[in-house]
């Protein structure tokens, strides 16, 4: 793997300012895929999924997508039938401008929930976004999809297969309402390989589990979560990707690593976050209970505020493990570590542990909380952040 320029042959992106919520900044993105492209997506499992999520799912079953339409500032969620009509009307705007079927346009929205989408403003800005379509449009697009993000999240990778260089590029947005149950708030990835939609979706599903589906900022699953993987088919030298080929295995690995990079950037940029913390649970009877323990720790307000304060209050971690719902947990077999510092063993504090040593680890910007359950050989890792004063301020003032 090597770093790569943010461009994928067969994929063009354009941006425009529709004035949806933010003044003097682009908030609308159009992504154009080559006619040879395939596209796969996974979406939120929130029962109140937004209108664009519902419509994008429907369009994916009807036609091969050619365009993505993304807006920030308004989620178009909790808007009923009007929201569905607004999402469809927005897609019509792209279809009219591009000369394609409306079903070939997938809509995506992020922002405030419960407010109607300003369709006329969006449709008025679409020609400008179409006019700015460029293979170099990734950076501008990564900024246009931001809401409370403090910085864009854009990553590129390259790898070689039998002497052919393959490109990957991805952008994501998200800082709050992050406890994905498929992906993240929004993420868009692309490669220039040729691959079937079914195999592309399998690749994406396998990539999101250890990445976007293994992070949390605040435990809230968004109504608008979506992750899209596009394959432009523009590489004339690389073979068509087959499930049993080494190229597929390499592609899945690289897509997964790209997703992990973007997911960790989301946590680092979590609303008000000052620290990135990995929670690794080992020695579990199965992966499910390992993830349950990890998420219980990650979602504890007491643990998260201790992380912010650099306070090695290990009792809060101990309590979270104990209330994670594991049957017949033998507390004498549980170990709790901060990086390489063991805090708890045999049901209590390790005799040689010192508060100063705990403070030293907790004062770092990034570290690992490791829990060993002593129940089996399975493990899981979740990446989270602390809970600061600024998180409360940002969310208390979000609509003002």
> Would you list which residues are annotated within the binding site for substrate?
147, 173, 184, 271, 395, 400
As a dihedral over the C-alpha atoms of residue 61, residue 39, residue 138, residue 50, rounded to 10 degrees, the angle is 30
CA–CA distance, 337 with 344 (Å, rounded to integer): 7
Q: Is 296 a catalytic residue?
A: no
Give me the catalytic one of 7, 44, 110, 184.
184
CA–CA distance, 110 with 125 (Å, rounded to integer): 17
Tokens for 107? 């809509």
CA–CA distance, 29 with 18 (Å, rounded to integer): 10
Q: Is 95 left (phi over 0), alpha (psi -120 to 50) or beta?
A: alpha
Half-sphere exposure of 361 (CA within 13 A, CB side): 22
Given a contact cutoff of 8 angstroms between Cβ atoms, the answer to whether 37 and 230 are in contact is yes
Closest to 88 in 3D by CA, of 125, 132, 133, 58: 58
CA–CA distance, 14 with 140 (Å, rounded to integer): 8
Closest to 37 in 3D by CA, of 241, 160, 196, 170: 196
Closest to 109 in 3D by CA, of 44, 37, 23: 44
In 3-state terms, the chain is what percent helix, strand and coil (to 5)?
Answer: 35, 25, 40
Tokens for 231? 């394959």
| Counts for the chain of helices (H) and strands (E), in that order | 11, 15
With the C-alpha atoms ordered 299, 302, 303, 304, is the resulting torsion angle positive or negative?
positive
Lookup result for tokens 């006329």: 120
Name the binding residues: 147, 173, 184, 271, 395, 400
Contacts of 301 (CB under 8 A, 6+ apart): 387
DSSP 8-state secondary structure symbol assigned to residue 244: T
Closest to 226 in 3D by CA, of 22, 39, 12: 39
- Provide the annotated active-site residues: 184
């Amino acid at each position: 793997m090597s770093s790569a320029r943010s461009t994928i042959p067969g994929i063009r992106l354009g941006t425009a300012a529709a004035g949806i919520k933010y003044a003097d900044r682009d908030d609308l993105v159009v992504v154009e895929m080559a006619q040879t492209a395939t596209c796969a997506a996974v979406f939120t499992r929130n029962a109140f999924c937004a209108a664009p999520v519902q419509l994008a799912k429907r369009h994916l079953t009807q036609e091969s997508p050619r365009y993505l339409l993304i807006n920030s500032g308004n989620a178009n969620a909790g808007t009923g039938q009007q929201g569905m009509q607004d999402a469809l009307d927005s897609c019509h705007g792209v279809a009219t401008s591009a000369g394609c079927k409306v079903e070939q346009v997938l809509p995506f929205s992020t922002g405030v929930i419960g407010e109607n989408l300003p369709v006329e403003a969006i449709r008025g800005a679409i020609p400008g976004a179409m006019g700015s379509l460029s293979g170099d449009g990734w950076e501008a697009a990564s900024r246009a999809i931001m809401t409370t993000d403090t910085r864009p999240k854009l990553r590129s990778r390259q790898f070689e297969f039998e002497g052919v260089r393959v490109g990957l590029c991805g952008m994501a947005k998200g800082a709050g309402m992050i406890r994905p149950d498929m992906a993240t708030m929004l993420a868009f990835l692309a490669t220039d390989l040729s691959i079937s939609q079914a195999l592309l979706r399998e690749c994406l599903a396998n990539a999101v589990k250890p990445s976007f589906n293994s992070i949390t900022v605040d435990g809230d699953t968004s109504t608008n979560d979506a992750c899209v993987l596009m394959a432009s088919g523009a590489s004339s030298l690389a073979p068509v990707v087959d499930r049993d080929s080494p190229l597929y295995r390499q592609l899945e690995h690289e897509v997964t690593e790209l997703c992990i990079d973007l997911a960790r950037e989301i946590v680092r940029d979590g609303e008000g976050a000052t620290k990135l913390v990995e929670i690794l649970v080992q020695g579990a009877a199965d992966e499910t209970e390992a993830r349950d323990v990890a998420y219980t720790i990650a979602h504890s307000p007491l643990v998260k505020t201790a992380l912010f304060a650099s306070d090695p209050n290990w009792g809060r971690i101990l309590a979270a493990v104990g209330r994670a719902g594991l049957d017949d947990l033998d507390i004498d077999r549980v170990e709790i570590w901060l990086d390489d510092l063991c805090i708890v063993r045999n049901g209590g504090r390790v005799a040689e542990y010192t508060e100063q040593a705990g403070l030293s680890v907790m004062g770092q910007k990034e570290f690992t909380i490791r829990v060993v359950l002593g129940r089996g050989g399975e493990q899981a890792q979740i990446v989270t952040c602390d809970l600061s004063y600024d998180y409360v301020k940002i969310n208390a003032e979000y609509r003002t």
